[in-house]
Amino acid sequence: MRERWLEQDRRRDRDFDAFVAGAAGRLLHTATLLTGDRAAAERLLTAALARTYAGWDRLRGDDPYDLARQELAARYANTAWRRRRPHGGVLDGLTAQERLIVVLRLHEGVPEEQTAAQLGLPADRVRAICLRSVSLLRSSSRTARRGGPERTERAADEPVDGGAPGRAALRTGTGDATGDAGAGRRTGGPGGRSARPRPSGSGDGRESGGSPP
């Protein structure tokens, strides 16, 4: 019996290591878009991977990337949702809620209904926030190119042209977490075996405030 448990543990560790080696770069890029800071993104990702590792045996064929992304978003929401406005990165100027919705919808491609369910918001509210945020980012980009004052507010329901607004912006300019890290969900990146957290018990749980560990 003990040998069987040990073999299950070794198999789980191998599977988790392989997942981290393939997905850490993409997840770190997502975390950096959210936090605007590489060090904070690494802490956020470590906490999310610890929770993913703790729940690995309950996946039962589900995509581990989806679980890790959910943990990442939940951890970010619990620690930054109603705190100070994040600063830095390509999404500078957006609130924590706006950042999370834009990243989930445009960078990660999470469907509107799924995003709404995860955040506990109506789907039309998610749509309005996403459209408004993209308008703000576009206004800020145009103002920056003209060298004028900071961006002006746009209405939440302002129509946004183009098939997938904002995707190009999310693929550019947040330090060394951009580029190849965001090229594909399963591409390799920083992490690998050295990135695997070794939580004790069933994980550290989500916290309702303070900074990510």
- HEC string of 144-196 equals HHHCCCCCCCCCCCCCCCCCCCCHHHHCCCECECCHHHHCCCCCCCCCHHHHC
d(CA 9, CA 208): 30
**pLDDT tens-place string over residues 153-166:** 333 333 333 334 45
Please tell me the distance from the alpha carbon of residue 165 to that of residue 204, in angstroms, as a whole number. 37
Q: In this predicted structure, what is the pLDDT of residue 188?
A: 38
**Contact by Cβ (8 Å): 160, 105:** no
Q: How confident is the model at residue 79 (pLDDT cuts 50, 70, 90)?
A: confident
76 has a pLDDT exceeding 90:
yes
Buried b / exposed e along 60-87 (16+ C-beta atoms within 10 A): eeeebbebbbbbbbbbbbbbbeeeeebe
Q: Is the pLDDT at 209 greater than 80, yes or no? A: no
Torsion sign across C-alpha atoms 180, 116, 69, 187: negative
Tell whether pTM > 0.85: no
pLDDT band for position 112 (cuts 50, 70, 90) = very high
Would you state the structure tokens that stand for residue 210, as one six-digit string?
Answer: 């303070």
How many angstroms separate the CA atoms of 122 and 102, rounded?
15
> What is the Cα–Cα distance from 209 to 213, expressed in whole angstroms?
11
**How far is 48 from 103, CA to CA, in rounded Å?**
16
Give me the pLDDT at residue 50, please. Answer: 96
Mean pLDDT of 25-32: 96
Q: Is the pLDDT of residue 141 over 50?
A: yes
- Given a cut of 90, whether residue 117 has pLDDT beyond it is yes
φ, ψ dihedrals at 43, nearest 5°: -65, -40
